[in-house]
Structure 1
Amino acid sequence: MQDINVIYERAKAALSLQKNQLAIKLAEEILMHNPNDEFAYYIISKSYFNLDQYDEAEKYIKLALKYSPEDEYNLALYSNILLLKKEYTSALNISDDTLAINPKQYTALFVRVSALKYLKEYKRAEELAKYALSIYPNSDTFHKELGDIYSETNQIKLAEQEFLKALRINPNDSVTLNNFGVYFYDNKIKKGNKTALELFKRSLQINPNDKTVIENYQTCVQKQNKLFVICKFYKDEFEYGISYRNLLILALLYSIFIFNDLSYFIIFVIITIPSLIIYFISNLFIKNFNQKYNIE
């Protein structure tokens, strides 16, 4: 049997290298020597967390907390697990416990900002993210969080600035690339669909199995295809002149495919019908006038 300290070092190394199954196996060996070893439970929990198996991660972090209830790293991991399980209020409570032990605990600050953001408490989330950046000025994570917050609150320019700051610090963060892509797509920025597609592609090159990014990419491609349909109609129908019928169809296509809202089509009709009525009345008057005075 290997020396327990050697197994510890191997388990920590495996965890740091994201060799999660190996880390779990080695931590289980440690528990055979000492069933009350809280750090072994932490290693197993963190490994399951990395594997996106949050129920298993929660089970083992609770065991770690049983033997070390005031360990800031155990508490921080637990709050992060709850965040990803979308239990935002519970995540906030555990992050509070963590920050009571260490007010500068990085993971706890991140969890708290994210949970507040998801609970739509944007002002508190913004203030906390700025506080976190005063402690960790080179953190791309908190710039990304601010980008999300500003995007959700329609502060478009500020959102773009924060996403760009995050990408300058870490240009290969798949989450930031995805969220920046969503920013371009959702806010209907000029050439936003094309830019969003490029950002989603870059994100998938880094993390090709991210289901959220895959869905965003597919949605963007579908919109691109719909734009192609509209452009083809425009080319085919408008090549030989513009008619009110064509304008109506084009407005309808834009309303359905691009804005997903028929109210835009209704507004177009309301705005254009008075002009159309005036046009027809004028034409009728001119026609009658010409007939009356035999003007060709």
Structure 2
Amino acid sequence: MIEFSLQKTRRGAQGALLLDVRATLATGSFTVLSGASGAGKTTLLRLLCGLEQPDSGTLHVNGECWFAHDRLLPVQQRRIGMVFQDYALFPHLSVRDNIAFGAARGDEALVSELIMLCGLSELAKQPPAQLSGGQKQRVALARALASRPQLLLLDEPLSALDHQLRRQLQTMLRDMHRRFSLTTVMVSHDLGEIFAVADHVLQLDNGKIIARGTPAEVFLQTQRDSSRVALHGEVLALHAADVMWRVTVLIAGELVDVLLCQNDAAGLVPGQRVRLSAGALQLR
């Protein structure tokens, strides 16, 4: 179990941000940090791994204190694995040696298993420069898992990849999470990706957690407010988008894409008139 109450003031191009977050994450959960750019997602991830020090608060992982007013556990003593968007591989090492770098001495069996599970057997002797983006990200994931982490932290690891490859690696991430009994925290902006991998979502805004729960609870149960302006339009097309459906609606001459769950999209057909209100489509 991860329990934290953390405060941190950061200053950047958009001014000062006061991060003030509290949450408890169950052991074995897959949590996604969601929210607009600058909301504090990456800062929270860096506080969890120890790359930044909180101004105040506490952090406990599986009963061990990682941060308190009189204690700061160094990052090298925290059993964490991290995967970044830019891979951060060692260019002078082969695929196998990159993965082995994260493993304990003599843990060759785990290195071999990870190479096989991540589909890297034919690339084991290749340097990173000869790999595609998706292959590099698989190496980065395998290296993070080679340390047998208590906590796996992912900072938008798939955002630079194309749609099909992202879907493949989302499945691999979820499979690895389950196989190695990980507790995982990932930053993501992609709604389809969040529904594909997450058990739990923390939605941040301006340094605060404004919503928490399952993806459906956070994104699909928006309270409808009949006092808000309602827009009427015509359904033009429906497309499957990851685990959601993307519905294209013509409203006042403009095309608007709306993401719906499968149940809500099931009753829609092109040419149908609909009412768009408080973030939801209603049949007319």
The TM-score normalised by the length of structure 1 is 0.29
Which structure is richer in relative contact order (CA contacts within 8 A, separation 6 or more)?
A: 2
Structure possessing the higher radius of gyration over alpha carbons: 1
Choose between structure 1 and 2: higher strand proportion.
2
